[in-house]
Amino acid sequence: MRVLVTGGAGFIGSCFARLLLGPDSPLPVTAVTVLDALTYAGNRENLAPVAADARLTFVHGDIRDAALVDTLVAGQDAVVHFAAESHVDRSILDASAFVGTNVVGTQILLDAALRHGLGTFLHVSTDEVYGSVEKGSSREDHPLLPTSPYAASKASSDLIALAYHRTHGLDVRVTRCSNNYGPHQFPEKLIPLFATRLLDGRTVPLYGDGGNVRDWLHVEDHCRALCAVLTDGRPGEIYNIGGGTELSNRDLTRLLLDICGAGWESVELVTDRKGHDLRYSVDSGKIRDELGWTPRNTMDTGLAATVAWYRRNRDHWQRSPGPDGADPTADAPGTR
């Protein structure tokens, strides 16, 4: 099996590439091509454990480059599409790259897939497309009510991807996962930002009253779910992926403080995110029942192991400038 992984130098895409090329690979891969623009969020070091594998080819390029994408999609069995601008706060400051990469980039990939009669196009999406959920959990047939420009760009790309299935019969599968945590995440999202700041003895910026709720899943469990969808999922279907671990940001912050040996005095309550969704919650019954997927990691051990990774890998994140070379841990964009 030959797989093109877009965004494979990022947090989740690199975990997926490491899984495919690792000793417990769930897929019989003969070639993995990573296409990544190496934006501030991408880092080739994330692929270091598999860099020597002859099956891996790294291509530094942009999914919006139609000519490049055309040559790379040719001959693949599957495209697993992670490449995206992924940070909500940045989309509030400037949405242009989000529309360019997440919407237009996806359409360019889909057109190439169509031209080359690609086997399967797996579009990796997010629970944020359902918007804030007051009670219960979002099922795959629930309406899309995205709030942030990031979520709206992902919802747009989901719809375009599914349209290529309905219109052209392309084998498109869409997954919508909850918040991921684990090693190699750029230190702008809550868990790596708070962990790295606490490890440096600094304060952490908690938005609003910290009452917002997210469902957390270990990144390796997300990647195993994607393999299950790739092998046993059905064309044209959407699969929610969730950890069933809902936590308020306040409770999650307490866990991180405990792990890092800090107290509540390290928390600064700061101005809330604009349009801050109160709660995300996905119903993952479909992937559990149809594909037999279930998470292996629990937050109890997974969170401490994640913080331990950041403790051991200072070099990795201390050399991670954000856009314009700014230190991403110095300020959470859009809040202060």
Does the annotation mark 265 as catalytic? no
Cβ contacts of 189 within 8 Å, gap of 6 or more: 87
The alpha carbon torsion through 245, 128, 134, 268 (nearest 10 deg) reads 70
Cβ contacts of 98 within 8 Å, gap of 6 or more: 85, 90, 91, 149, 150, 153
Q: How many whole angstroms separate alpha carbon 168 and alpha carbon 331?
A: 45
Least distance from ligand TDX to the Cβ atom of residue 184, Å:
14
State the chain's maximal CA–CA distance in angstroms.
57
Q: Under rule CB under 6 A, which residues in 169-198 are in contact with ligand NAD?
A: 177, 179-180, 186
Contact call for residue 44 and ligand NAD (CB under 6 A): no
Amino acid at residue number 114:
L
Q: Is 117 left (phi over 0), alpha (psi -120 to 50) or beta?
A: left
Q: Under rule CB under 6 A, which residues in 221-250 are in contact with ligand TDX?
A: 249
Least distance from ligand TDX to the Cβ atom of residue 57, Å:
26
Structure tokens at 51: 């860099």
Is the distance from CB of 260 to CB of 310 less than 8 angstroms?
no
Give backbone dihedrals phi and psi of 214, rounded to 5 degrees, phi first: -130, 155
Task: Tally DSSP H helices, then E strands, for the chain.
Answer: 12, 12
Least distance from ligand NAD to the Cβ atom of residue 35, Å:
6
Q: Under rule CB under 6 A, which residues in 269-298 are in contact with ligand NAD?
A: none
Angle at 297 between CA 131 and CA 277, to 5 degrees: 15
Size of the site for ligand NAD (CB under 6 A): 31
Pairing mode, if any, of strands 31-36 and 120-126?
A: unpaired
| Residue with smaller CB distance to ligand NAD, 9 or 267 | 9
Size of the site for ligand TDX (CB under 6 A): 17
Contact call for residue 63 and ligand NAD (CB under 6 A): yes
Catalytic residue among 130, 150, 181, 280: 150
Least distance from ligand TDX to the Cβ atom of residue 231, Å:
24
Least distance from ligand TDX to the Cβ atom of residue 149, Å:
12
Contact call for residue 19 and ligand NAD (CB under 6 A): no
Piece of the chain touching ligand TDX by CB under 6 A; list 80-88, 112-120, 132-140, 235-243:
80-88
Element (H, E) at 69: helix 66-73
Least distance from ligand TDX to the Cβ atom of residue 252, Å:
8
| Residue with smaller CB distance to ligand TDX, 107 or 153 | 153
Catalytic residue among 127, 140, 158, 221: 127
Residue least distant from ligand TDX (Cβ):
126
State whether residue 30 is helix, strand or coil.
coil
| Residue with smaller CB distance to ligand NAD, 62 or 140 | 62
Q: How many whole angstroms separate alpha carbon 98 and alpha carbon 106?
A: 11
Does the annotation mark 45 as catalytic? no
Nearest to 123 by CA among 87, 79, 89: 79
- What residue 82 binds from ligand NAD, ligand TDX, none (CB within 5 to 8 A, per partner kind)? ligand NAD
Q: How many whole angstroms separate alpha carbon 109 and alpha carbon 73?
A: 8
Residues near ligand TDX (CB under 6 A) are 86-88, 126, 128, 179, 189-190, 193, 205-207, 212, 214, 249, 273, 332
Residues marked active site are found at: 127-128, 150
Name the residues that contact ligand NAD, by CB under 6 A: 6-7, 9-13, 35-39, 41-42, 62-64, 82-86, 101, 105, 124, 126, 154, 177, 179-180, 186
